Amino acid sequence: MCTVMAALAVGSTVAGVAGQMQSANASAAASSYNASVQRENARLADMHARRVLEAGADEERKQRAATQRLIGKQTAGMAANGLDITFGSPLDLIVDTATQGEIDAMTIRTNAYRNSDDVRNQAASYRNKAALYDMEADNSRTSGMLSAAGTVLTGAGQAYGLSKYGDSYTGLRNPTKIGTLY
């Protein structure tokens, strides 16, 4: 009976170790997958940040071109009416238009940088999450090995106790004293 109980303890230990290792490996695999998803999200966010800057630069160029067209129309209109555009109010109008056009272009640039920064910050957040998932995967593997080692030691202790003390190790001879040595 002692040998059977010891064999069962060993079998239980082996099954427990296998289950703990499988669970740890599954948890580590899930964490590794999540880390790779976060890295891909970061890559996509970085690409999006570049596109935001490119779109902002395009809008900035369009704004400057629109300002130049407006200045051209103003200049042509004033010249057609015989106004000298090199001084006075006509010059002030052209300077004001150029100034406002440049302010608008710089506002577009600033907004593009702000939007790009927001997206880059999100990319950094994704990279941080990926690093945490990588650590979680490592910790899952370590935890699984430590749990399995604990199970092996517990199982070895039980098997030794059963082989040395027999049925009395688990209190099988006296059901009222289960778990006590006597």
The mean pLDDT value for 22-38 works out to: 91
In the structure, what pLDDT confidence band is assigned to residue 169 with cuts at 50, 70 and 90? low
d(CA 60, CA 80): 30
Rg (CA), the chain: 38
Convert the pLDDT of each residue in 124-161 to its tens digit: 999 999 999 999 999 998 888 888 888 888 888 877 77
**pLDDT exceeds 60 at position 176:** no
The residue segments making up the domain with residue 24 are 2-177
Q: Which residue has the tokens 């057609």?
A: 80
Is residue 166 a part of any domain in this protein? yes
**pLDDT exceeds 90 at position 104:** yes
pLDDT at 182: 47
d(CA 63, CA 61): 5
Is residue 86 a part of any domain in this protein? yes
AA identity, residue 90 = P
Is residue 48 a part of any domain in this protein? yes
d(CA 142, CA 81): 85
Q: Show the tokens assigned to 7.
A: 């064999």
Is residue 182 a part of any domain in this protein? no
Is residue 22 a part of any domain in this protein? yes
Structurally, the chain folds into a number of domains equal to 1
Is residue 105 a part of any domain in this protein? yes
